[in-house]
Structure 1
Amino acid sequence: MTDVSSDFIEQKKAELGEDEPRRKLETLCQERRIECSWSWHEVVGLSFRVGFPNGRDKRWQHITAREADDILSVEFPAFAYLGDFDAALFTTSQTMEAAIRSDASNYAFIEIPGVRRIEHPQLELPGLDEDVEDEPRSGPKIRPNDAWVLEFSSAPDHPNLKVEIGSASREFTAISDRRGRRVSFRERSPLPNGLGRFPTLRISGVRVTRHDEALDLLNRISGAIFFELDLQYGVAASIIPSRLSQMARRRGRLRQDNVQWLPRNPQNQYPEKPLSLYWYGRSSGIPLLEYLAYYQVLEYFFPSFSHRDTLEKLRNELLDPRFRADDDGNLVRIISLASGTGKGFGSEREQLRSTISGCVTEDLVRDFIGNNDVLREHFSGKQKIKDVAHLNLSDTRSDFLTAVANRVYEIRCRIVHTKEDGGGTAANLLLPFSKEAEELGPDIELVKYLAQKVLIAGASHLRL
């Protein structure tokens, strides 16, 4: 973005003309008190962005003239985005709609009994026109350019609740991430009737007035729907996260410095099993699974590092000139040091502390965090992950590596919902699609860094 005067911006806007779609959309945004702004970029020229409602936040989107025209073509419906999903609540019709996907393919949905092709689609929220032709499941096969819908039968307890899966509505197609530049051309191009080529879940018939209520309802109903689809038809589905939330999560990740030297043949070899866990974390793309994979890399080395720590203590005890083999008190101390549970010595938290201190120094970890603005703010600023140890970079008197080990361990406990060593109360579960999970990026970077260091510490000379 180039720093230019407001007069320059106004001049460029005037050159677009009053009928330019973005200018029309700006007028409507101002009428609805939706924040929007213009900026100038030397490469792309005049740029327009809108801060669409998203609960207590805003979801800022750069809008092209074509995208503005799409929104205006559906009369700019009153809506708010829901959480970090590619989902929205259309407030006038009280309908929630969310982009969904199947783990197999989106074609898996059309194999479910009851799916029908829409011959003359006029999908107006909250549902379909009454005169849409209903074909039996055994009717003509649904083709790629067909619109389709699967309506769920109502339950006695909630007769007004209406749930559908089918081609995205025109309204949602106009505002969804699926119309963004980061998806395939096929998904960006709507069906001939304006409906989306991608499937959505639509929920209506329940009045909601607040964003958090709508998000909670979407989570609960979609969770039940998808679980039962999996049980009955083997179709595993999920709501698609917003690409903007994924971009925000990636901004919390570290970028590698531009290394100038050329790659060389490896001199080391790394243990196969923990290296496999490390690559699983790198490829998972799911924050909680990624974190646990890196933690398991550390866990793999618990026995060697906890033994190493204990052996050092035993060695120091035996080298003490005051040690006497005929003194029961001395022998009790030796037994206490040598006693341990499982494959390593000490509790899991203690073994983690021994492993971390065995592969990094306090200064290394302080520099790793302190030299990156995102990490420094995440760990030293307002805490975004609850019930975990705080890492205070300015406190040089406390044991920093112990604080690091405690934080890594406590997040792991919140993910797997375990109890503290020796009992205690259960940790609050860290849910996969929660705000905290979205904020986990810097913590993932920290545990990944530790996993890298412990793999290096466990490396051996490459043998050919």
Structure 2
Amino acid sequence: MSEASTYEEDFWEEDSDDDWLTDTPITYREAVASLRTLVTQHADVQVDWNGRRGPDNDARVTFAGPTPLHVRLRSATQLADFTHLISSGIPLPNRHAVWYPQEQVIRARLIGDFDQVHNVLAQQVLPKARRAVNPDSALGRDLAGLLAEVGAFHASEPATSGGAPGRTMRLVAVPRELRLLYRARHGSGLSPVLELTQASARNREEAEQELASYGTSYLFSLGKATGASLRLWNTEYRMGSRRGPSHSGKVRFPTRRYASHPAELYGAGNSLARDPVERYLKYYQVLEYYMPKAVAAAVAAQGVARAALATSPLGRPRGSDRLDAERNALDAVIESAVTPQQLAHLLSDSDLFATISSSQIIQHVQALESDASGGLLAGYDYRSDLSLRVYGIRNRLVHMKEGGGPRGLPLLAPYSREARDLAADLRTVRYLAEHAMERWSTAL
């Protein structure tokens, strides 16, 4: 059995000081004993404890299945939640959800722009509200109560011909059991989950499929109706690089003038509210903005009349090196914006280089060459390989035709696992965009 499923994600983290962990009349040992008795009736659940206490010694509850889930019993106060979960629920880790077969209910976590949802809810409760919702404000508490008591954005399926109720869907407050399983810190009333009732699934696989089918459609309709950006959790979400860009924190009085359009694009790329795919394309558009300048400079340097007669400054194979092709125009921008030494300094970050030199994290694009130990090749000019990688990712993002892009390349969809792994490439294309803006800036 594999080790714990530790879905690390920006929105939900491990609980540490939840206000629902209160004093209890039973001891921790008694709670473990109670769970051990309970799981004798459930072959797919196991409780292990070494008899000691502490963060590394808490009892571990294991839920078997295609994706085993390991959860720590951190306090005896969690006994009631674990009891209900073991007795009635079936975890669906691939969707960060729980299915309750007897209740015909599935509850699943959501990720996306919660602030957007809060503001839409606020408009319904208080139409004149204009500011972002503070969870600790009176309005924030009202919204939390709304989600906890009645939910929001109700949608119902017509009753069947026999009079049986149809499925219903709504957003509700995060249940404590979901927080236990998937380590949700931000489980306050303003972090909604999706609840599907009258689910007809007969087994785990059908429950996942029913949630995915109806949940995806519901969230799409919600987005159309309100502009809310919410989606179901996907087991493929992970990060290829946890390191972010290095910022000095120093803001100096400007001495250089930058063109307004790339500056706006760069600012949009910096917006964490945007998804990684959109941010990547914004940074790429900065590089694209400077292509005419870079191509003109290369044409002049090569002494030819036009771009169709010039070649890539990064030495592409003959026949595929014409400078009037966008891929080679990107070569000209990168060749003008950064030196091999500057790029080597960026790539000296081992975490970043390990990601973009791997052919498995972002597939079907150029992976950078590495030495036998997985490090940088000494004296190697990485600009050519990096340009191919940047352009390759751009193609997988832009060419969203059904069936794939050029030469059948698969799509790099906004909420795919690869999109979640764009952190290292985002940092790299951002670096290139910054240097391009510096290269073509002028003195104030």
Question: What is the correspondence of 1:397-408 to structure 2 with a 5 Å cutoff?
Answer: 400-408=382-390
Question: What is the correspondence of 1:443-454 to structure 2 with a 5 Å cutoff?
Answer: 443-454=425-436
Q: Distance in 2 between matches of 1:161 and 1:168?
A: 22
- Indicate whether 1:153 and 2:157 are aligned: yes
Of 243, 258, 267, 1:270 maps to: 258
Q: Distance in 1 between matches of 2:264 and 2:165?
A: 50
Structure 1 pair 442–146 and aligned structure 2 pair: CA distance change class (3 A): closer
2:266 and 2:286 in contact (8 A); partners too: yes
Q: Which amino acid aligns with 2:349?
A: N
- Indicate whether 1:167 and 2:168 are aligned: no
- Indicate whether 1:202 and 2:192 are aligned: no
2:262 and 2:437 in contact (8 A); partners too: yes
Structure 1 pair 386–73 and aligned structure 2 pair: CA distance change class (3 A): same
Segment of structure 1 superposing worse, 303-312 or 21-30 = 21-30
Of 341, 344, 364, 2:342 maps to: 364
2:315 aligned residue: none
Unaligned stretches of 5+ residues in structure 2: 1-25, 126-142, 313-321, 372-376
1:282 aligned residue: 270
Segment of structure 1 superposing worse, 378-387 or 233-242 = 233-242
Of all paired residues, the percent bearing the same amino acid is 21
2:220 aligned residue: 227
Q: Which amino acid aligns with 1:356?
A: I
**TM-aligned CA deviation for residue 448 of structure 1:** 1.4
2:335 and 2:383 in contact (8 A); partners too: yes
1:52 and 1:60 in contact (8 A); partners too: yes
Q: Distance in 2 between matches of 1:234 and 1:58?
A: 36
Structure 1 pair 446–386 and aligned structure 2 pair: CA distance change class (3 A): same
Structure 1 pair 82–46 and aligned structure 2 pair: CA distance change class (3 A): closer
Question: What is the correspondence of 1:270-419 to structure 2 with a 5 Å cutoff?
Answer: 270-285=258-273, 286-314=275-303, 336-337=308-309, 346-369=324-347, 371-381=348-358, 383-394=360-371, 400-417=382-399
**TM-aligned CA deviation for residue 46 of structure 1:** 5.6
**TM-aligned CA deviation for residue 295 of structure 1:** 0.9
Q: Count matched residues.
A: 374
2:39 and 2:46 in contact (8 A); partners too: yes
2:20 aligned residue: none
Of 21, 26, 29, 1:19 maps to: 29
Q: Please state whether the residue corresponding to 2:109 is helix, strand or coil.
A: strand
Q: Distance in 1 between matches of 2:344 and 2:68?
A: 34
Q: Distance in 2 between matches of 1:300 and 1:234?
A: 33
Of 95, 100, 103, 2:116 maps to: 103
2:228 aligned residue: 236
1:102 and 1:238 in contact (8 A); partners too: no
Q: Distance in 2 between matches of 1:432 and 1:40?
A: 45
Structure 1 pair 173–57 and aligned structure 2 pair: CA distance change class (3 A): closer
Q: Distance in 1 between matches of 2:82 and 2:217?
A: 34
**TM-aligned CA deviation for residue 288 of structure 1:** 0.9
Higher Rg of the two aligned structures: 1
Question: What is the correspondence of 1:46-61 to structure 2 with a 5 Å cutoff?
Answer: 48=58
Q: Distance in 2 between matches of 1:56 and 1:362?
A: 47
Q: Distance in 1 between matches of 2:277 and 2:64?
A: 24
**TM-aligned CA deviation for residue 437 of structure 1:** 1.5
- Indicate whether 1:80 and 2:91 are aligned: yes
Structure 1 pair 357–438 and aligned structure 2 pair: CA distance change class (3 A): same
Q: Please state whether the residue corresponding to 1:378 is helix, strand or coil.
A: helix
TM, length-normalised to structure 2:
0.66
- Relative contact order (alpha carbons < 8 A, sep ≥ 6): 1 or 2 greater? 2
Q: Distance in 2 between matches of 1:37 and 1:448?
A: 48
Q: Please state whether the residue corresponding to 1:283 is helix, strand or coil.
A: coil
Q: Please state whether the residue corresponding to 1:425 is helix, strand or coil.
A: helix
Structure 1 pair 449–161 and aligned structure 2 pair: CA distance change class (3 A): farther
Structure 1 pair 173–299 and aligned structure 2 pair: CA distance change class (3 A): same
2:133 aligned residue: none
Q: Which amino acid aligns with 1:74?
A: H
1:249 aligned residue: 239
Q: Which amino acid aligns with 2:91?
A: A
Structure 1 pair 455–69 and aligned structure 2 pair: CA distance change class (3 A): farther
Q: Which amino acid aligns with 1:352?
A: L
Q: Distance in 1 between matches of 2:186 and 2:353?
A: 30
